Amino acid sequence: MDFYLGLAQVIGVHTLLGLSAYCVLLTGQVSLAQAAFFAVGAYVAAILTVIFKWHLFAALGVSAVVSGLTACAVGFPALRVKGLMLVVATLAFGEAVRLFFFNFTYQIQAGELKIGPHGAEGFRQIRYFPEHGWSTFDVLMFIWLMVAIVMACLWWLDQSRAGAVMRAVGEDEVAAHSSGINVTAVKVLAMTIGGVIAGIGGGIFAHYTTHIEHVQFGVILATFAIAYPILGGLSNVFGTLLAVIFIQGFLIEGLRFLGDWRNLLFGALIVLAMNLRPRGFLDAGGVASLKRMLFAGKESSGA
């Protein structure tokens, strides 16, 4: 049972990472900086709970703010470029952040031990959850509460005028601009919201893995971050969740018994999924069909 609870934790945290990229993708931008924001959140939250003994909730709040501000700061210069140039710019930023943590050492003496981030060797003993008696189930509930809150906020955003504006920018930037929309502000806002979500996700990630190091926040994590919403579909937030379940639950954990063949199948199944559902698992057509089915069910039961 503990294994499934642990797996659900992984799915929850990766959903937050995917949702951080979802916001940015809605505005038509492809960002490979989400892993960097995730890293900022992870290190900030871990430093606050381990070195300064803050409560986790406060630490996550600060990590969200710091990541959000970082994303906002990156957003202004980075969003002056578009398309592939933005991918390169955000990738470069992500690597810069990773290399910063690669060299970042800030340790204090705690009894016989030194605690805190130690450059390439990472940051160990981030044991807030077990030291405060949180069971695996408690951690799971907390993670999914955060996921539910973030998904609800993004759902609400999607249904609001702000969401329509973000999608308008994503669909056709020139048309949106000619309609009086401040395109730069919308893009920077999306990047900032993505940074806040990644900061929360990173903060939780640091605490459930208990050890973080620069190598965890590289290009692979950044690729996963944008792969989730692209594979899941951008029609609504649930697509990202479906994609995370598919990748983390099925491809990584479900196929573990295949041993050496798992990695081969991993790539092949993603290619197959993209071919079968080129607009994502949950595209607009799929959502419309689901709605029709649900309404038809209600109508028939009502009749």
Partner 1 sequence: MRTVSVAAAALLAGMMTSVSGGALAQERTVKITGFGAKSGVVRVFGVNSEAAMKAAAEEINKAGGVTLGDDAKAKLSVEFLDDRCNAEEGISVIRRIASSDAFVAVGPTCSNVAESLFGILQKKVGDASDSGLQFPVFADVAAKGGLAAISEWAFRNVPSELEMYKSLFAWLKREHPNLKTIYGGVEKDFAHSNATYGVMKKQAEENGFQLLGTGEWLLNDTNFSTQVREMRRANPEIVAISAHPFTTCGVLREMDRQGVKPKLLIGLTSSSSIETLQGCAKQAEGIIIPTSFAPVTAEAKTAAENVSKQGGSMDLHSAAAYEIMFILKDVIESQKIMAKPDTVQADRNKMRQGLAALKETKGLLGTVGRTNDREAIKPYLYVYAKDGSWQVLHKPSS
**Which stretches of the chain bind partner 1, using CB under 8 A?**
1-7, 10, 102, 120-122, 124-127, 129-131, 133-136, 208-211, 213-216, 252-253, 256, 259-260, 262-263
Nearer to partner 1, 159 or 263 (CB): 263
To which residue do tokens 């071919």 refer?
275
Q: Tell me how far, at minimum, the Cβ of 146 lies from partner 1, in Å.
A: 17
Structure token digits, residue 303: 């009749």
- What distance in Å separates the CA atoms of residue 214 and residue 44, rounded to the nearest whole number? 13
The CB density around residue 113, as the number of other CB atoms within 10 Å, is 10
Q: Tell me how far, at minimum, the Cβ of 25 lies from partner 1, in Å.
A: 23
Q: Tell me how far, at minimum, the Cβ of 142 lies from partner 1, in Å.
A: 13
Nearer to partner 1, 187 or 214 (CB): 214
Nearer to partner 1, 80 or 114 (CB): 114
Helix (H) or strand (E) holding 279: none
The CB density around residue 230, as the number of other CB atoms within 10 Å, is 20
Helix (H) or strand (E) holding 108: strand 108-110
Nearer to partner 1, 7 or 153 (CB): 7
The CB density around residue 247, as the number of other CB atoms within 10 Å, is 23
Q: Tell me how far, at minimum, the Cβ of 270 lies from partner 1, in Å.
A: 16
CB 201 within 8 A of CB 71: no
Rounded to whole angstroms, the maximal C-alpha distance in the chain is 73
Nearer to partner 1, 45 or 189 (CB): 45
Task: Determine whether 147 is exposed, middle or buried from the number of CB atoms within 10 Å of its CB (0-12, 13-18, 19+).
Answer: buried
Nearer to partner 1, 11 or 44 (CB): 11
Q: Tell me how far, at minimum, the Cβ of 135 lies from partner 1, in Å.
A: 5
> Of 211, 214, 173, 165, nearest to 190 (Cα)?
165
Q: Tell me how far, at minimum, the Cβ of 147 lies from partner 1, in Å.
A: 17
Nearer to partner 1, 215 or 272 (CB): 215
CB 169 within 8 A of CB 27: yes
Helix, coil or strand: residue 118? strand
Q: Tell me how far, at minimum, the Cβ of 224 lies from partner 1, in Å.
A: 11
